[in-house]
Amino acid sequence: MGPSAGFHPYNHIPEGNTVNIKRYGAIAAVVGATALVLAGCATSNSSGSSDSPSAKPTTETVVGPKVDTSLTGTITAGGSSAQANAETAWTAAFQGTQAKGVVVNYDKSQGSGGGVTNFLSGSYDFAGSDAALNATQYPQAVTLCAGGSPVDIPAYLSGVALIYKLDGVTDLQLSSATVAKIFTLQIKTWDDPAIKADNPKATLPSTPITVVTRSDGSGTTANFTKYMHDTQPSIFTQAVGTAWPVAGTSGQQGGSGVVNAVTAGTGTIGYADQSSIGTATAAKVSGSGKDFVAYTAEGATEAFDSAATVASQGAGDLTEVIDYSKISGKSAYPIPLLSYVITCTVHKDAAQGKLTQAYLGYVLSTQGQLVGSKNAGAAPLPTSVLKAAQKTIALIK
Amino acid sequence: MSNETVSRPQSERPAGAARVKAKSRPADRIFLGLSTGSAALIMVILAAVALFLIIQAAPAIVQNWSTNPDLSKGTTEGHDNFWDYVLPLIWGTVWSSAIALVIGAPIAIGIALFISHYAPRRIAGILGYLVDLLAAVPSIIFGLWGIFVIRPFLKPLEVWLNHNLGWFPLFGGQATSTGSTILAGAVVLAVMILPIVTSISREIFLQTPRLHEEAALALGATKWEMIRYAVFPYARSGVVSAVLLGLGRALGETMAIALIISPSLIFSVKLLTDSQNPQTIAANLALNFPESDTLQRQALIGTGLMLFVISLAVNFVARAVITRTGGSKRSRGTKKPKAETLPLVPTSTAALEESAVVGTGKTRDEGARA
């Protein structure tokens, strides 16, 4: 007979599903903590590599509306995880330099879709989203912002980095056609003639290519698929959107999952937001031109400056459309990644409107963009965009 | 709270005898109300969850997905209707849980047996405590452990199996290069269900009547034979319920699968690939919920409804198995054990003496008289 009772009885392990429901709530905190730790590592690396903006000496400084330092309150927001690190930096800087009493709660676990959904239901003061309000959501927002209008303001600029891990190759160059062929699995090995043509000086092994992509919905996927669709429509024929459309790749959860899988494997290639790649090697990419460009913050700003045009959906709206064919030159990075803040010009609670205006005014100022680039690896938005944004922000009340 | 006698089974009381009721004071009534209220609350919550799932999911389920502008893009793109989307997910959920069960349940039962019958007392105590500790690890930690430890660990084995035994349907396909296989996910799932199955099985094994075990040993059985003939038949339905509880946990597991597996919506049995791993319902929900529109979210809630139905079905099957194979173990002390669960072991000392003379073949009749 076995040992009699002396150890504690089995009476506390709960039924499967209740555990998962309770734990899923705690998971958000742990994932947030993990992401913050990983982001901390990424940020400490990228802030070393991103140059301080060598702005032309005559660049004017854009400032937001004057903020009363005694302002207090709480701003509730959420959405895109791409701009989450930047939001943290902006919040800290805003509290430190503008108004100590303002608290900004940005929930990045919602994703762009969740952020917009919550914004449309009235729970957020503003939403962070990798895509502007679409044709179905804009009318809903118009109803929400009765008395004013909904506005999409570009706030965060970065780039989509193509990271890879290949023995013996550290300076990979890829044309947009090659990129599209690799990511649609038409090129299967690293020593394919197309890759060789892009890299005449490199010795490429015959390792099979492992393509690493996102298994969850993501604004990075949307930006990257749009780039491939616009530059190589005959090669990339699949759907543009937040869900990765090509079957047969290795899907990982989150940008950090992609970075981890690429760095842990061999012969891997994947895409991720530039600010989250850490020490992974990124390839140089060409757009519609012939030059292979490595990512720099100035390169992203320059690309955005030359290729983005405003396609306004309403009064004060600054939805941008990027024409990839206009990105050319030796320094403009071909795959910029843009993220918006979406808010109403008239808030139901005037106090919240004032808080939102003060905060967004800071975010869309030269100083705010500098904070974002130094701490979160973002690229500063061009001055012209900041000026237009401040005009919209002046309407917020 | 009636004074039913414990010495005479109900069936033997004279017909027409009134039930004796105890005195009822206000405290009794309050407690009765509270417990009835709690029971009713559980039913209300369950009904509310089911209603919520049905109401939220209904708009998405009835739509024609290829023509609806919201459902033909993004998360739900490329599927004609709800069933086209959810059936591969159901397959993935059931398949990954089945593999986890096949890997984990035998090990868990082995551990439970070791703790209850083989280990010295102190080691058994420590081991039991450690296994229960495993249940306290959050599933996200298991997911991260799976990514950083299990995937690289299993990858050489997976590649070897694929190259050498690739003709077998389970091992075919293109070998993984990142280790994000359903096998890795199922191994982590097996570790997660280990504490549940082990703990319940351990308690069941410990409940085996000492008399049965000693009787078997007295009849000349070895330790393993004693376990086989005295412990297992007694514990069978309890172990089945433990395994089904573990299955319930595996079916609903979200974060570990979401982090470890590279998912697709296909019907596949291949274990060792990156691109042919069927996705589970819960992981699909977790991965796609943030970036989904309203109608797409309702479609995802619909898949959650399917998971709810599957979990209910598993629990019903568990109950049916338990009631059919011997009834609740907790009433063992007051009820006669069914003769067929103890094929070879007599149930009383009198029968023991008789069978010692006559031989083990007659124990069934002797036992029935006890």
Mutate to test the interface with A, among B178, B198, B205, B251 (most CBs of A within 10 A): B178
What pLDDT, on the 0 to 100 scale, is given for residue B359? 52
Mutate to test the interface with B, among A1, A189, A263 (most CBs of B within 10 A): A1
Beta carbons of B119 and A3 less than 8 Å apart: yes
Which of A13, A113, A136 lies closest to B196 in CB terms?
A13
With tokens 């009547």, the residue in question is B209
- What tokens does B38 get? 């709690």
Query: Residues of B with CB below 8 A from A37's CB?
Result: none
Confidence of residue A32 (pLDDT cuts 50, 70, 90): low
Q: What percent of chain A has pLDDT over 70?
A: 85
Which amino acid makes up residue B322?
Answer: I
Q: Which of A136-140, A193-197, A341-345, B292-296 has the lowest mean pLDDT?
A: B292-296
Average pLDDT over residues A294-322: 90
Distances (CA, A) of B362 to A391, B151, B353, B358: 97, 55, 12, 7
Please count the other Cβ atoms lying within 10 Å of the Cβ belonging to residue B356: 13
**Global pTM exceeds 0.90:** no
Average pLDDT over residues A272-280: 89
Does any CB of chain A come closer than 8 Å to the CB of residue B124?
yes
What pLDDT, on the 0 to 100 scale, is given for residue A21? 53
- What tokens does B69 get? 């502008």
Beta carbons of B132 and A8 less than 8 Å apart: yes
The answer to whether the CB of A226 falls within 8 A of the CB of A271 is no
What pLDDT, on the 0 to 100 scale, is given for residue A84? 87
Confidence of residue A29 (pLDDT cuts 50, 70, 90): low
Beta carbons of B213 and A215 less than 8 Å apart: no
A130 versus B339: the higher-pLDDT residue is A130
Reported as a single tens digit per residue, the pLDDT across A67-77 is: 888 889 999 99
**Cα–Cα distance for residue pair A333/A352, rounded to 1 Å:** 37
What pLDDT, on the 0 to 100 scale, is given for residue B8? 52
Query: Residues of A with CB below 8 A from B250's CB?
Result: 16
Please count the other Cβ atoms lying within 10 Å of the Cβ belonging to residue B28: 12
Does any CB of chain A come closer than 8 Å to the CB of residue B69?
yes
Beta bridge partners of B208: none
Q: Does residue A291 surpass a pLDDT of 90?
A: no
List helix spans (H) across B82-231. 82-113, 121-134, 139-145, 151-164, 182-206, 210-218, 223-226
- What tokens does A169 get? 């190759």
| Residues of B (276-305) whose Cβ lies below 8 Å from A | 282, 286-294, 296-297
Query: Residues of B with CB below 8 A from A243's CB?
Result: 74-75, 77, 288, 291
| Residues of B (145-174) whose Cβ lies below 8 Å from A | 147, 152
Average pLDDT over residues A10-36: 58
Query: Residues of A with CB below 8 A from B75's CB?
Result: 217, 242-243
Average pLDDT over residues A104-119: 88
Query: Residues of A with CB below 8 A from B88's CB?
Result: none
- What tokens does A96 get? 């430190």
Q: Does residue A26 surpass a pLDDT of 90?
A: no
Query: Residues of B with CB below 8 A from A9's CB?
Result: 203
ipTM of the complex: 0.75
Which of A2, A24, A242 lies closest to B206 in CB terms?
A2
Which of B116, B249, B294 lies closest to A16 in CB terms?
B249
Please count the other Cβ atoms lying within 10 Å of the Cβ belonging to residue A360: 28
Beta carbons of A208 and B128 less than 8 Å apart: no
How far does the CA of residue B21 sit from the closest CA of chain A (Å)? 32
Which of A6, A27, A109 lies closest to B140 in CB terms?
A27
Listed as ranges, residues in chain B with pLDDT below 50 are 1-5, 328-337, 339, 362-370
Which of B195, B255, B274 lies closest to A13 in CB terms?
B195
What pLDDT, on the 0 to 100 scale, is given for residue A9? 52
Query: Residues of B with CB below 8 A from A210's CB?
Result: 177-178, 274
Please count the other Cβ atoms lying within 10 Å of the Cβ belonging to residue B64: 11
Contacts 24+ apart (CB under 8 A), B59-67: B59/B295, B59/B298, B60/B295, B60/B296, B60/B298, B60/B299, B60/B301, B60/B302, B61/B299, B61/B302, B63/B295
Beta carbons of B180 and A250 less than 8 Å apart: yes
Tell me which H or E stretch contains A375.
Answer: helix A366-376
- What tokens does B202 get? 């351990």
Q: Does residue A93 surpass a pLDDT of 90?
A: yes
The answer to whether the CB of A365 falls within 8 A of the CB of A93 is no
Beta carbons of A1 and B210 less than 8 Å apart: yes
Average pLDDT over residues A200-215: 92
Reported as a single tens digit per residue, the pLDDT across A226-262 is: 999 999 999 999 989 888 999 889 999 988 899 999 9
How far does the CA of residue B237 sit from the closest CA of chain A (Å)? 17
**Vertex B7 angle, CA B3 and B9, to 5°:** 85
What pLDDT, on the 0 to 100 scale, is given for residue A28? 62
**Cα–Cα distance for residue pair A8/B135, rounded to 1 Å:** 14
Reported as a single tens digit per residue, the pLDDT across A156-179 is: 999 999 999 998 899 999 999 999
Q: Does residue A5 surpass a pLDDT of 60?
A: no
Average pLDDT of chain A to the nearest whole number: 85
With tokens 């330790």, the residue in question is B223
